[in-house]
Amino acid sequence: MDAKELIARRVAHEIRPGMLVNLGIGLPSMVANYVPAELGVFFQAENGVIGLGARPPEGMEDENLTDAGGGFVSAVPGAASIDSAMSFGLIRGGHLDMTVLGGLEIDEAGQLANWKVPGKMVPGMGGAMDLVTGAARVIVAMQHAARGASKIVPRCTLPLTSLRRIDLVVTELAVIEPTEEGLVLREHAPGVSVEDIRAATAASLIVPAEIAEMQLA
Amino acid sequence: MDAKELIARRVAHEIRPGMLVNLGIGLPSMVANYVPAELGVFFQAENGVIGLGARPPEGMEDENLTDAGGGFVSAVPGAASIDSAMSFGLIRGGHLDMTVLGGLEIDEAGQLANWKVPGKMVPGMGGAMDLVTGAARVIVAMQHAARGASKIVPRCTLPLTSLRRIDLVVTELAVIEPTEEGLVLREHAPGVSVEDIRAATAASLIVPAEIAEMQLA
Amino acid sequence: MKGALRPAAAAEMIPDGASLLIGGFMAVGTPERLIDALVARGAKDLTVIANDAAMPGRGIGKLVTARAVSRVVASHIGLNPELQKLMIAGEIEVELVPQGTLVERIRAGGVGLGGVLTPTGLGTEVEQGKQKVEVGGRTFLVEEPITADFALLAAYQADYVGNLCYSLTAHNFNPTMALAGRTVIAEPASIVPVGVIPPDAVKTPGVLVDHLIVRAA
Amino acid sequence: MKGALRPAAAAEMIPDGASLLIGGFMAVGTPERLIDALVARGAKDLTVIANDAAMPGRGIGKLVTARAVSRVVASHIGLNPELQKLMIAGEIEVELVPQGTLVERIRAGGVGLGGVLTPTGLGTEVEQGKQKVEVGGRTFLVEEPITADFALLAAYQADYVGNLCYSLTAHNFNPTMALAGRTVIAEPASIVPVGVIPPDAVKTPGVLVDHLIVRAA
């Protein structure tokens, strides 16, 4: 199993029946593949429609039914069209049960940077600042390191997405919970030791006596 | 012709083709009776539906289609349902071309009081404060006096509805335009002299050389 | 999927002292069976936030007559002389709010905004005690957001996901209130199977709705 | 009743230097024929306010490629590398706004509110230079309202009153922008006779729409 699939399958395990969930573009969007239909989860992309479903068979795409990345999707029974004002009303108003986002850096305060690398990459924050500020639960799904450098750092050096402490970080090595005391290591990936995780992490980790092995959906 | 009909017919004359017009409860709502259908005017009540039409024949009323007073109405072809947020978005946002409201007092600054008589009558402002603040054109349609006392006064003694100077006052005696300089007498009702109007008006009036006779729709 | 409750069961969920957003405009678009059930169970000390107090014998008027209400936040109570008397006698507290401001305050509460910056009410009694902010050289009142323990809505049609459609002037405050109740209970005239309502016809997405009331017998 | 314009005639109405609100999300729900006509007439120095800059060859991307744009206000430009280069080279000015804040700023401009009080962006680069207000013990950014000379909308269906319906994720910013353009031009996929669209299906009332674009040949 590759790193991205492992992360997506672990995140899928966080999803409870009937939730309204927003999945970011890229890795986070893979989470939907591992959520059983019978959970009655509604997926939302910030561009509209609550109740996004899988890409339709070729030739049955609708140019007016896409995810936030512009990819074709379908609508599940009970889907509802919403405009951007309602979409972000739900997000900012706390009606969104969970958002899963990518990250560039997470720090010991549990704060996220994921929208800008000054002078290099300025794609814009899109919906990320509203999602992190407003969603009931924020999960960051990302690879542990980029180009050999840990993305879990003592203090974000990149521009912050929000002051809000995110709720959970899932990487291919570990599940980490930001708390008031700092970053608590909760789970290790199969075959990965606590020492491996410490070695791969620039930030200090609080390591409880019991560390579970990741459960995958 | 009674006073109310005369006022309604004069106000109807202010309405231009294609306008979006809000008519208050009571006397103002009579204005619709004198606006030709071919003008393509859309009437809105603040409770929703753009394109209100006449009361339907008995037995054909819809309990979900009423004016702001709760009276049954119909919908003209091209009508649109709107909720209260959109209704007042249109009103506050300047999208409403004209509102016609009743008044308790109008003063020399052109300011209106029409929602409260302290200690006696406190119905609430309903939509009046938003309408007077936001409509492109505000017309007050009211009888010139109440219980023998002029309703056009030097300075409002009742709580104001808005700081905004209203655009036109139509009574059964006169048409008066509030301006920066004060209340300008524009028209007299048929058979009513300038002296009659002055005698019935507590406020100072600016009387130009030419005073037209009211045109009725 | 949501089951549907009988009105009496819903009324049991609403404790004395609760704050209620109640949809409707002069009782059009008001959940009458929910109100009847609250009266039947002898509810007390409710705070009712609604456009208006309807009239004795209809909608919120029935709660007033039953003395179930200790506080009303509304834009208009002019057609409910009973409430006016109780207000003047000091038995029910009434806060009067301009209608456009009221719906925006509820929207702000529902969509996670800090309040409303409105020109409506400036220079009138409404501005008393309120913060003002200058933006772009103009002054606006800061009106605080409103949320409530429950939102009680009337709808035209629902499905068992909780998606709601409204009809004509029965929209009014209902779609906005759906965002601002911590528990949202909808009383639809009909309930259809999931998948029957086209996504584009949904005005309130089911994720906002906690409980449906069974159809009338 | 409104006649329908050819795209070229609409593009002639839009002068160089104009500010344009343009609907769409990654070019889904964008008025492509209007954009093609603007490119064809050689429009220059436009300010474009939109969710995103789409991608080269689609929607707003075509205006960027044609160098018709001098300023962009958007939440995301990450899929348009051409615009990113022009921004870094200083040839096009870009203001990045969180997506939920952007849609609310446009709504505020359209509905006559003085601005938006949002928690989004607090403590990030977004707050630089902005007023803050405390309401109920919490701090919010004051974000200014946005209006523009024109709103260019894509719709699914229109009637000749100008009533508009949208489809699925092609709603996005269109219904909100309809409120905030001084001149509103809508490009519907189909136009039907007045009376054909049910009032409850209308998402943008025709009173907001100044011009329709003829259907595609």
Distances (CA, A) of C186 to B159, C109, C189: 38, 19, 10
Give the model's pLDDT for residue D1. 66
pTM of the shown model: 0.98
> Across the interface, do D111 and B81 touch by the CB < 8 Å criterion?
no
Region B92-104 average pLDDT = 96
Which residue ranges of chain C lie beneath pLDDT 50? none
The residues with which D135 forms a beta bridge, in sequence order, are: D138
pLDDT over 90 at A129, yes or no: yes
- Inform me whether the pLDDT recorded for A139 exceeds 90: yes
Pick the closest to residue A174 from A128, A123, A114, A106 (CA basis).
A106
Of A81, A87, A161, Cβ closest to residue D168: A81
- Say if D196 falls within a structural domain: yes
pLDDT of residue C57: 96
Query: Are D179 and D155 contacting, i.e. CB atoms less than 8 angstroms apart?
Result: no
B49, D199: Cβ pair inside 8 Å? Answer: yes
Beta bridge partners of D211: D185
Would you say residue C109 lies in a domain?
Answer: no
CA distance C74 to chain B (A): 8
pLDDT of A217 strictly over 80: no
Instruction: Report which secondary-structure segment, H or E, holds C13.
Output: helix C7-13
Which range marks the domain in which residue C25 is found? 4-99+146-213
In CATH, what number is assigned to the domain containing residue D81? 3.40.1080.10
> Looking at beta carbons, which residues of chain B come within 8 Å of C119?
92, 133-134
Whether residue D154 has pLDDT greater than 70:
yes
pLDDT mean across residues, chain B: 95
The pair of structure tokens assigned to A111 is 């704060």
Average pLDDT over residues A116-135: 93
C-alpha triplet C143, C149, C152: angle, nearest 5°: 95
pLDDT at C1: 66
> Using CA atoms, how far apart are residues D205 and B44, in angstroms rounded to an integer?
11
Tell whether C35 is covered by a domain: yes
**Contact yes or no for A101/A138 (Cβ under 8 A):** yes
Q: What is the pLDDT of residues A86-122, one digit of tens each?
A: 999 999 999 999 999 999 999 999 999 999 998 888 8
Domains with residue ranges and CATH for chain B:
3-213 (3.40.1080.10)
Nearest residue in D to A44, CA atom: D169
Instruction: Indicate the average pLDDT of chain A.
Output: 95
3-state secondary structure chain D: CCCEECHHHHHHHCCCCCEEEECCECCECCCHHHHHHHHHCCCCCEEEECCECCECCECHHHHHHCCCEEEEEECECCCCHHHHHHHHCCCCEEEECCHHHHHHHHHHHHHCCCCEEECCCCCCHHHCCCCEEEECCEEEEEECCCCEEEEEEEEEEEECCCCEECCHHHCCCHHHHCCCEEEEEEEEEEEECCCCCCHHHCCECHHHCCEEECCCC
Q: Average the pLDDT over B59-76 and give the result.
A: 93
Beta strand A48-53 with A42-45: parallel, antiparallel or unpaired? antiparallel
E runs forming strands in chain C? 4-5, 19-22, 46-49, 69-74, 93-96, 116-118, 132-135, 138-143, 148-159, 164-165, 181-192, 211-213
| Residue C118 resides in a domain | no
DSSP result, A145-169: EETTEESEESS--SPPS-SSPPSEE
As given in the structure block, the two tokens for residue D198 are 């049910």
* A176 vs A188: CA distance, rounded Å: 9
| For range A79-92, the mean pLDDT | 98
Q: What is the pLDDT of residue A163?
A: 97
Q: Give yes or no for residue B104 having a pLDDT over 90.
A: yes
Candidates D113, D147, D161, partner chain B, best to mutate (most B CBs within 10 A): D161
Kindly identify which residue of chain C lies nearest to residue A64, measuring between CA atoms. Answer: C200
pLDDT value, residue B38: 87
Q: For residue C122, give the nearest of B49, B128, B163 by CB distance.
A: B163
Q: Which amino acid does the sequence have at A158? A: L
pLDDT value at D178 more than 70: yes
Catalytic residue set of A: 46
Count of structural domains, chain D: 1
Residue C206 lies in a domain: yes
Task: Report the b/e string of D178-214 with b at 16+ CB within 10 A.
Answer: bbbbebbbbbbbebeebeebbbbbbbbbbbbbbbbbb
Which chain C residues touch A if contact means CB-CB below 8 Å?
A: 1, 107, 110-113, 159-161, 163, 179, 194-195, 199-200, 202, 205-208
Eight-class DSSP state of A35: S
What average pLDDT score do residues B129-135 get?
Answer: 97
Assess whether pLDDT exceeds 70 at residue D204: yes
| Domain membership flag for residue C34 | yes
DSSP bridge partners of A146: A149
pLDDT classification of A38: cutoffs 50, 70, 90: confident
Of the given ranges (A69-78, A132-141, B77-86, D57-66), which has the lowest mean pLDDT? A69-78
- How large is the average pLDDT for residues A187-191? 96
pLDDT above 90 (res D3): no
Measured N-to-C along each axis, helices A84-92 and C99-111 cross at an angle, to the nearest 10 degrees, of 60
Question: In the predicted model, what is the mean pLDDT of residues B120-133?
Answer: 93
A146: tokens are 């980029």
| pLDDT at site B180 | 97
Q: Is residue D168 part of a domain?
A: yes
Query: What are the phi and psi torsion angles at C214 (to 5°)?
Result: -60, 155
Judge whether residue B216 has pLDDT over 70: yes
In a domain, D106, yes or no: no
The residue-averaged pLDDT of A5-32 equals 93
